[in-house]
Every structure is written in structure tokens, then in C-alpha cells.
Structure 1
Amino acid sequence: MSGNELAGSVVGIIGGHGWMGRALGLALLNQGLVSPRQLVVSSRSGGDAYNAWPKVRCVNDNHDLLALADLVVLSVRPDQLPALDLPVGDKPVISLLAMVSSAELARKTGSGRIIRAMPNAAAQIGEAYMPWHASAATSRADRAAAQQLLSSCGKARELATEQDLDYMTALTGAGPAFPALLASAMLAHAKQKGISDAIAFEAVMQTLVGGSRLLEHLNADPEDMVNRLIEYRGTTAQGLQCMMDNGFQSIVLSGLEAAYQAAKP
């Protein structure tokens, strides 16, 4: 992809004041990928997310948005989709909905040019992982525009099959939820040992964030790092071995499998 694939296109975000729609809209504006006049958002609740961009068109009726937009982004909850009337026609549709297949989206919108993507909450700070899959009817230009649009909030990656996307909904769609569960357990243990709330929070957050950044920087196999630390036979090895012996990996696999089964349309 080269240049601005969104140049000249009007992007319409249905649910543009929600957490993901807002993150995406503001990222597109802040990075100059679209001008304010190229962005139109609809929302039942409204909001002040675009006050700094008065030329962004905010509408209450999705039909008004569809009349203006060249590319439509669906950023609503899956349970809200049945109530929406979306005569999109032959425009490309980028869906950020979990558990809604491309076939169902095509029936709902009348468009065969469907791109399903799975965001996560880290989009708010431009650090999301955004896997996506395009239907056969999408053009090369559609896919290039989707890659650029989704990359505005982090790292975007096209997947080979829709089934892969369903799995990634479980693996990456949870965003900070799985690290937050680990952080919660670590905080609870630190507090049990008498560490103050402020110091415990600071220590746990820095440990998780710093460790994650180190793994990314080293670009190494995490399993290799675990094995090296176990072989060192220090305090870390004792903790790791105990967690592994008590089924840590099995619990993680079971949790991911449960999320994957729930993510299937």
C-alpha cells in the first residue's frame, strides 16, 4: 500500500461516538488520513468527541450517513444490529462486530464487499492489534483502504480465512482483559504480604508493561525465555515451575477455547 488510500473518500462510522468508533474517528483525523469533511458519524446517544473538529458531520439517522459515505464502518454492539436498517448498496462495509459473519452482514446491508475486523480496547491509545478478513467480492482498493483505516489505531493484519478471524476474536479481541486478570492476581498477592496499594499497583504495572516491551524488543520466542529462566534455578524459576505444575497453561488454553467457542457466529 502506498499513499493515502482514503483520499477523496467519505468515511461513515455508524456508532461513531462509541468507544471504538470514537477511537477510530479521532485517529483518522489526528493522522490526517481524512479531513473533517470526509468524516460522518451517526450515534443514538450523541456526544462531544468531535467538538475540536466542527466540520465533522454528526447525524442521528443512519440513512443520512449512508447517503454521504463512500465507505461504511459498523461500530455497534452485535445485539444492536438486528434493529438497524442499513441499505448500504454496493459500498464497502468494515464491520467491527464480533459473532456476526460476513454472510449475515451481506444479508443485512445488501453489500457483498464485506470486511470483518476485530479491534480491542488498546485502540484508544493507538496500540490495538486489528486482524481482518475480506470477502471475495472486495476489491484490492477496498482491502488497501481497510488496512490503512484499521492501522490508524495500531497494527492491522489481513487473515486468510474468516475462521482465523473468529479465533483472533478470542485471542486478541480481549485486549487488556487477560493481562488485567494476571495483574489483579499479582496485586492481590502483594497486598496479602502487606505491600501498600500504591506501591503494589506501581510494581505490578511496571513489571507487566516492562516485561511485555522487553519481549517485543527482543523479538524472541517467549517459551525460550521461560525455559532459560527455569534453567537459571533462581526465585523466578521457583515461581514459574509452581505455576506450571498447578496447571497455568491448561487454564489459559481452556479460557481461550471458551472465548473462541463464544466468538463463532
Structure 2
Amino acid sequence: MFGSRRIAFIGAGNMAEAIIAGLLHSGLANSQLIASDIDSSRRDAVRMRYTIETTGNNRQAADWADVIVLAVEPQILDEVLAETFPLGASSKFIISVAAGYPLSRLAAHLHGAERMVRAMPNTPSCIRQGVTALAYADGVLSEDDERTARLMFEQIGQVVRVNEQLMDAVTGLSGSGPAYVYLMIEALADGGVMMGLSRQAAQILAAQTVAGAAQLVIDSGEHPGVLKDRVASPGGTTIAGLHVLEGGGFRAMLVSAVEAASRRSMELGSQS
């Protein structure tokens, strides 16, 4: 699937680990991966869990690889890039999962590097149920590079391609979105408990209801409004509940949450 390409992860945190697990699950050989991290305990955990090479030397990992995944916090990425690529990285294929860190800034630090992709995966990627938005550097990636990036993130969920200027919107929707869903699951379960269900039963019912409804949207390809109307029979229980949600501004609140998170992402990007 990835041929003989060697892939280095600069940073071995949770997202790097999720991608590593997905790649190995797809059949990539352990010998094609390396991870570097300043934290020796993280290196030890990743090496033992996935039987791949690890190192505390970012430059060593980058020099060895064909594809380099930048998986460190954005606030330290400037320093990491200066240490890892003192002479630039013009021949390397760079994939960054650092939130709020634009490709233009990456190119400036990498002294002319052009083969770059910016990725925004979300936390359900750790169970291969995530979604990743990819933004490609304009006009310079080969079809093979584009395919490699897409295949990498397809191992941890679905993939969409967006223009880079929409990455803040992606952050507000799918990046922050799991937290909105967790809040909704918690609230649904609370409602079940209020009506007499045990906490355990209510949480299972709420979580699986959300998971199943989401999967039906994906599998059917139908508009959520159409599926909603199929549940809401005239004069029934569902339409009574929907009336309360609409009266409380449920729809508008979710739209506003995505907007607020997106705007905050823009602010953080301008401050970095």
C-alpha cells in the first residue's frame, strides 16, 4: 500500500500513536516506521506497544525517512523545525498535524520545502473512527504524494480534502465536535436517569443511539432532516421532544458553538 516508503513521526503523543497503530493495522511493516520524542517514557511505551524503532533525536529520525509526520504541539514547532531541519527539507515529504500552523509558515522554516500537507484529524482516530481534513500545498504534490497522505489517514477514519483557509472551520466542527457530542450523550443519559433508568443503562442507550444515528447518516447518504422526519410521526413522542429542543435553541446553539470554536482557532493561529 505504501511501497517501501519509510515514515518518521516527530513527536510520539496520542495522535502519532493513533496513526502508527492504523498504519500497522493496514499491513505496513514495523521496520518502515520510526518515532522520536523528547520524553523517554513515551518512546519506551511506543516501542514496546508497536515494536518500532524510537529515538530521542528528531534529526536522526527525519534523515532516515522519506515521509515525515510533524506531530508536536504547535507552540514548540518552530523550535523543533530549526533543530530537525537545519539545512532545510527540500527532498522530504512533510505532513503536519499541528493545529493552527499554516503551510506558509512551515515552508518558511523549511527553507524552500514544497512537498507539504496539512492535516487535521480528530480524537476518535484513536479507535480508527476519526475524520481528517487534508490541505495540500498548491500545485506541487505528485499524485503519489497525494495518495500517500490520503491512504495514511484513511487507516484511522474518513478523509476529506479542503482548501487551507477552511482549516479553522474544520477545527471548529470536527476538531472540537467530539466534545459537543460527549456533552449531548451526557445530557441524554441524564434525561434517562431522571426518568428512572440506571446510570449504566442510560449511558449505553444514549451513546449507542448517537453512534447508530451517525452511522445511518453516513451509510444512507440521506440528509439528516429526512432521517429525522422518519422518526417523528405526527402527534407522537419524538415531535414533542423536537419541539422542546427547537424552542430552547438547540440547533442555533450548535451552529454558534462551531462558529465560536472556529473563530478561536483563527485567533490562536494569528497569535502563534
| TM-score normalised by structure 2 residue count | 0.88
Q: Distance in 2 between matches of 1:212 and 1:53?
A: 31
The answer on 1:66 being equivalent to 2:66 is no
Matching residue of 2:167? 165
In the aligned structure 2, how far is the partner of 1:164 from the partner of 1:218? Answer: 26
Contact 1:44 1:60 in 2 (8 A): yes
| Residue 238 (1) aligns with residue 240 (2) | yes
Give the Cα–Cα distance (whole angstroms) in 2 for the partners of residues 170 and 124 of structure 1. Answer: 19
| Structure 1: runs of 5 or more not aligned | none
CA positional deviation for 1:148: 1.1
* Change in 2 beyond 3 A, CA 1:53/1:229: closer
Picking from 141, 144, 148, the partner of 1:141 is 144
Once the two structures are overlaid, the 10-residue window that deviates more, 82-91 or 116-125, is 82-91
Deviations for 1:142-200, whole angstroms, at most 9, x for unmatched residues? Answer: 111111111111112222x1122331122112252221010111122223334221121
Q: After the TM superposition, which residues 96-135 of structure 1 pair with which residues of structure 2 at under 5 Å, given as runs?
A: 96-110=97-111, 111-135=113-137
CA pair 202-230 structure 1, distance change in 2 beyond 3 A: closer
What CA distance in whole angstroms lies between the structure 2 residues aligned with 1:21 and 1:210? 28
Taking the TM superposition and a 5 Å limit, the aligned residue runs for 1:29-108 are: 29-32=24-27, 34-45=28-39, 46-51=43-48, 53-54=50-51, 56-84=52-80, 85-87=83-85, 88-90=88-90, 91-108=92-109
2: distance between equivalents of 1:127 and 1:49?
21
Q: Equivalents in 2 of 1:41, 1:207: separation in Å?
A: 38
User: How far apart, in 2, do the equivalents of 1:109 and 1:59 lie?
Assistant: 22
Aligned partner of 1:257 in structure 2 is: 259
User: Is the contact made by 2:8 and 2:68 (CA closer than 8 Å) also made in structure 1?
Assistant: yes
More helix by share: 2
Letter in 2 for 1:121: T
**SS of the residue aligned with 2:84?**
coil
- Matched-pair contact (CA < 8 Å) for 2:186–2:203: no
- Aligned pairs, how many? 257
How far off is 1:259 after superposition? Answer: 1.0
Indicate the SS of the match to 1:201. helix
Instruction: Report if the CA contact (8 A) 1:122-1:175 is conserved.
Output: no
Deviation at 1:53, TM superposition (A): 4.4
- Measure the CA separation in 2 of the matches of 1:261 and 1:38: 39
- Distance (Å, rounded) in 2 between the aligned partners of 1:142 and 1:215: 31
- CA deviation map 1:28-60 (0-9, x unaligned): 12211x321211110122232332543x22010
The two structures, once aligned, show a CA RMSD in angstroms of 1.8
Change (3 A) 1:53 1:98: closer
User: 1:154 is matched with which residue: 153, 157, 167?
Assistant: 157
DSSP-derived class of the 1:254 partner? helix
Name the amino acid aligned to 1:209: A
C-alpha displacement at 1:231, in angstroms? 5.4
Write out the 4+ residue segments of structure 1 that deviate beyond 3 Å after TM superposition: 227-231
Whether contact under 8 Å (1:121, 1:175) holds in the other structure is no
Normalization by structure 1: what TM-score? 0.90
Distance in 2 between the 1:179 and 1:61 partners?
38
The superposition leaves residues 81-114 of structure 1 with CA deviations (integer Å, 9 ceiling, x where unpaired) of 1331231511111111111111111122332222
